Copies of this chain bind each other. A is one copy, B any other.
């Protein structure tokens, strides 16, 4: 069993209104050292396979087909081998 830890972020050239809003909020709270904020999505997917390459393929296809917008977003995948949960 593998766990794919996926971070999906907007491409750098794309305006990030959510990031701007969080940045503004942090400034109001006195976080003057915060220079920029970019927000994105985090996903953790448990994949039922013992083959790391297959886990990477499944996670990549899941991003390409559903989780990430190929036009505006980038995604990064980290894989961890995890114990199968008791049935």
Contacts and interface: CB of A to CB of B under 8 A. Distances in A.
Number of copies of this chain in the oligomer? 2
Interface in A46-75: 46-49, 54, 58, 61-62, 65-67
Greatest chain B CB density within 10 A among A35, A39, A66 is at A35
Interface size class of A (residues with CB under 8 A): 35 or more
A62 to B, nearest CB: 6
A23 B65 CA distance: 13
Contacts of A40: 41-44
B1 A66 contact: no
Given A7-B7, A26-B66, A46 B58 contact: no
A15 interface: no
12 contacts: A9-B44, A22-B43, A22-B66, A25-B66, A26-B66, A29-B66, A31-B61, A33-B47, A34-B45, A35-B47, A40-B42, A41-B42
